[in-house]
Amino acid sequence: MDEPTDADLVDRSRRGDIDAFAELVRRHQDRVYHLACRMTQSPADAADLTQETFLRAHRKLHRYREGHSVGNWLLAMCANLTKNMFRTRTRQRQADAGHAEMRVLQAPDRGHPDRPALEHALARLDPKERAAVTLHYMEGLSLPEVAEVLRIGLSATKMRVHRGLRHMQTWLEDRS
């Protein structure tokens, strides 16, 4: 028996099949979590964002456009939720005027000596640049796929990736 496609599972989920939606979660939860973790540098935030992504996806199944990648639709949702989280936190920090909590959580070192420095430079990026760099270089999406996920034009995607890399390079050079 052939395994159902993601689109089949979305269609069945729209008709109330809870098991079909559970299968979508099973298929995509690791990728969504890893994107959130890379963007936030916080496993706890990533877990919350992953859960919120799938809750929102379930509520918005009617908005999924046939013919598009379900995985990219979920990544776009996660990236947007992450950007919203950063926006909210920025507003909270501004309102607290200096009483904001500063938290730096690095991803586990994968054995590469520059990994912590790279993770720190990535964490310093503007959320829009961080999303583009993470999706392209860490999630392996092509630039057109990154543009689709972020719902921006291809030239804006290229600009965000380029600027993000330029900023990271500057920070890493200043560190040496």
Query: For the chain, which domains are there?
Result: 1-104 (1.10.1740.10), 106-176 (1.10.10.10)
- Which tens digits make up the pLDDT trace of 75-118? 999 999 999 888 887 766 554 432 222 222 223 444 455 677 78
Note whether 28 and 74 are within 8 A (CB).
yes
Number of Cβ within a 10 Å radius of residue 89:
16
Prediction pTM value: 0.64
Q: What angle do CA 143, 151, 163 make, to 5 degrees?
A: 50
Pick 67 or 92 by higher pLDDT. Answer: 67
- Which tens digits make up the pLDDT trace of 116-131? 778 888 889 999 999 9
Q: Which residues contact 19 (CB under 8 A, 6 or more apart)?
A: none
Note whether 49 and 36 are within 8 A (CB).
yes
Q: What is the mean pLDDT of residues 155-171?
A: 89
- Cα–Cα distance between 67 and 42 in angstroms, integer? 33
Start-to-end Cα distance in the chain: 57
- Which tens digits make up the pLDDT trace of 52-63? 999 999 999 999
